[in-house]
Structure 1
Amino acid sequence: MKNKLFKLLIVLMILLFLFVSCARKTSNQQTSSSNYTEYVVTRQNLTDSLTVYGTLNARKVAEVRPLVSGVVKKVHVSKGDTVKAGDILIEIDDTDYRLAYIKALQNYESAKLTGSKLLLQQRELELKIAERDLERCTVKAPIDGVVVSLDVTEGSIVSASTIVAKIVNMQNLYVSANVDEIDYSKVSVGQFANITFDAFPNMGFSGRVSYISKEAQTAGGITVVPIEVDLLTGQQTISAERRQQMMQRFQANVPSNLPQNISPETLQQMMQRFSSTQRQIQRATDENLIQLIPGLSCQVEIIVLNKPNAIVVPTRAIQFEDGQAYVTVKVNEKTEKRLVKLGERTSAGYEILEGLEEGEVVLVPVTQRTTTTSTGTGTIFNPFTGPQMRIR
């Protein structure tokens, strides 16, 4: 009887040992799997941007000076008026200048009778100067634009160096900004940008990098590189070539999504609506541009990288060993360590040039942060979107 009880006790201990071992193995597997998230490899547009802050400026700004002295006889414009190059801004009393021109003309005619070539040349130059000064009494706009300041009234006394008005052309606007030296190598002329203004938070504008300084500037221990970003008009944003490409793409793709018996007239009407939409976008862009004025502060998001149809994995999915990059791939409930070739690195992760195919599953380690709670510790972070769940 004692032997039977002893044998039964031995069997129970063995079963208990096997149960504990299996439970521990299962627990380890669950703990291991909870330390990773599965990322399905897909193709996507790989983009990266750089944000800087700047101020809107005008390419064409003219400070108007009369270049002659005198009393303002008449003012033809007001502050805020739109003018064309050649429009009269002010007139200066020209009585003295007309008298000087008449005397110079008389002296020139008299010199022609003397036969002296040197005297004739002198009188001719004096006549040209008198004629020039007489013309300068009528001060004209040197460029198209808006009169943003007018500092004279009728009866004002001006000199040749007096700034009587300031004209700003609103058609060619650009943003002046500074790029940190760390990001300098990412920026190049021709890159497109998205521009938003504090004054118009619900409006977005397109821009293009047009200038990068060849000299860095340092102030307060910070080194930056000045750049300029041109503001694009509606026509530039949707260029004729771009519209043609979009129309060709429309013609190539839309018929496959339409009934086979669609009439040519219906297709033509759809194409016309498509073209009309592009014109509306262009017109809306130009209407919004009219509201912008130099001096406004803005945020510029420069598109420094744009690669379509790229394979990208989260940064934490990459493991480096001996200067080579690896990822852990899940294959039929098993995992394998695979060598990959990296391309661009962005805030979204690494571009994979070789080693992975679309649809494969990559294991991504999650970051755990220890916290003190009554139910458990640790937080799992999604590699792209941040904290997702708590381990309890």
Structure 2
Amino acid sequence: MKKKWLKGLLPFGVIAFGMAGMTAITATAQKAEEDAVVDTRPKVSVEAISAQNYQVVITAYGEVEPLESTSLSAQVSGEVVSWHPNFVPGGLIKRGETLFSIEKDTYQAALYSAQATLSQAKAALIEEQARADAAKEEAKQIPAARVTDLYLRKPQLLTAQANVKSAEAQLKIAQRDLDNCEVKAPYDALVVSRSLGVGQFVSTGAQVAQLYNVEYAEITLPIAGFDTAFLPDEVTGVRANVVSKGIQTIRRDGVIARDLGVVDTATRMGQVVARVADPYGLKTGAPKLKFGSFAEVNFIGKTLENVFKLPQELVTNQTVWVVDGEQKLEPRNVAVLREEGQFYLVSDGLQNNDRIVTTLPEYPQKGMEVKLEDGTEPTASL
């Protein structure tokens, strides 16, 4: 009877034991979940920054132009007998080379005539000087009251001297006219146009060619208002890098020649002028920087002290996010001094070793706790 009772009770015991086990397991799991702390802080990456002295580079653009342009005219009239092989549009001619020649016979004859006139005048002066010397000796033998300037032949002597000077002047003019029969390049020149040929008669003052000076090129550069404050105190003499982009990029060294000293009334911009020596490489063999081409000019401006250089994407509405010592987000208002390419130069609002957030949470808030990508945690203060 007792065994039967035990057999009837056994199923109930197994069920009770199972329920107790399930209860214990559930309670243990709940306790484990309660004990595990879920970290919901957003993860960010940071970068420590330091102030630096930054050399501003100013970039401006302009058209390459000749230092000077000359409308060449003949100074004497006559028939053209020859011209330089490079005296054609696009030709390059060095300073002092003969561009073209005018028939010289008339001017050579005028020179001979002037030389003869001068010789006669000098002979007359010698003769008159001798007469004056003789009169001076004779004057010693007569009373002083009878000695006059006319007696001493002073007027005649002055006339003879004046005739010599006049003859010398005529000789210089004749020599100049003869020299001007050879029309020479006033500087290293690019021939833009020419309007004469062999056998053509040219008149004095007639324009025969257009020349550009290729000893120097100049580029007038408009300077925007936001760049004006960063110009060096003395801009004249500052080295410049000139770049002309195209099928082939041309790079040449230059210098800032001068500040024009005015503000353009249309654009409200200042203007400086960059100068490049030997733009056509006539002396140096450097790549040609052709007139009329568009060029970019870079030159050094002022040095900004203790500024922070930040990527533009980290600055929004003059605000930068940093992580403070308690691992919390903090917005900083900053003063942007200048834009340099993809960066901003910031003067105020940051300190050395500030940790700039480079990857922000989707909705950043002031005081939001964050964790760092490298796993660094704040050190508890003592």
TM-score bin (small chain): 0.5 to 0.7
Please list the CA deviations of residues 308-328 of structure 1 after superposition, one character each: whole Å capped at 9, or x if unmatched: 9964346766999xxxx9974
Aligned to 1:186: 230
Structure 1 segment 262-341 matched on structure 2, within 5 A: 289-304=286-301, 311-313=308-310, 328-331=322-325, 333-334=327-328
Q: Which residue of 1 aligns with 2:142?
A: none
C-alpha deviation, 1:55, in angstroms: 0.8
Q: Does the 8 Å CA contact 2:332/2:349 hold for their aligned counterparts?
A: no
| Alpha-carbon distance in structure 2 between the residues aligned to 1:295 and 1:59 | 12
Counterpart of 2:181 (choices 137, 140, 145) is 137
The amino acid of 1:292's aligned partner reads L
Q: Paired residue for 1:213?
A: 260
Question: How far apart are residue 175 of structure 1 and its match?
Answer: 1.7
Q: What is the aligned partner in structure 1 of residue 214 from structure 2?
A: 170
| Structure-1-length-normalised TM-score | 0.57
* Residue-by-residue CA offset, 1:35-60 (whole Å, 9 max, x unaligned): xx744325778454444321112336
Identify the match of residue 244 of structure 2 among 184, 197, 200: 197
Q: Secondary structure at the match of 2:60?
A: strand
Match of 1:229 in 2: 274
| Cα contact 2:336–2:344 (8 A) shared by 1 | no
Question: Given the alignment of the two structures, is residue 357 of structure 1 paired with residue 365 of structure 2, yes or no?
Answer: no
Q: Structure 1's 140 and 191: CA in aligned 2 closer, same or farther, altered over 3 A?
A: closer
Amino acid at match of 2:291: P
Q: Which has the higher helix share?
A: 1
Question: CA offsets, 1:317-344, max 9 Å, x none?
Answer: 6999xxxx9974432524678999x795
Once the two structures are TM-superposed, the CA of residue 213 in structure 1 deviates from its matched residue by 0.9
Structure 1 residue aligned with 2:49 = 41
Rate the CA distance shift 1:158–1:368 in 2: closer, same or farther, 3 A: farther
1:338-383 deviations in Å (ceiling 9; x for gaps): 999x79544423445896335x4124797989xxxxxxxxxxxxxx
- Distance of aligned partners of 1:119 and 1:203 in 2 relative to their CA distance in 1, 3 Å threshold: closer
Give, in whole Å, the separation in 1 of the partners of 2:362 and 2:197. Answer: 73
Q: Is the 8 A contact 1:330 1:363 kept in 2?
A: no
CA–CA distance in structure 1, aligned partners of residues 48 and 191 of structure 2: 60
Contact 2:217–2:278 (CA under 8 A) maintained in structure 1: no
Give the aligned partner of residue 86 of structure 1: 96
Distance in 1, matches of 2:172 and 2:254, equals 47
The answer to whether the Cα contact below 8 Å between 1:328 and 1:335 also exists between their aligned partners in 2 is: yes
Query: d(CA) in 1 for partners of 2:231 and 2:199?
Result: 53
TM-score by length of 2: 0.59
Aligned residues between the structures: 284
User: What's the RMSD between the two structures over aligned residues?
Assistant: 4.4
Letter of the 1:77 counterpart = P
Identity %: 23
- Which residue number in structure 2 is paired with residue 121 of structure 1? 165
Higher relative contact order (CA 8 A, sep 6+): 2
1:99 counterpart = 2:109: yes
Cα distance in 2 between the residues matched to 1:293 and 1:77: 21
The corresponding residue for 1:75 is: 83
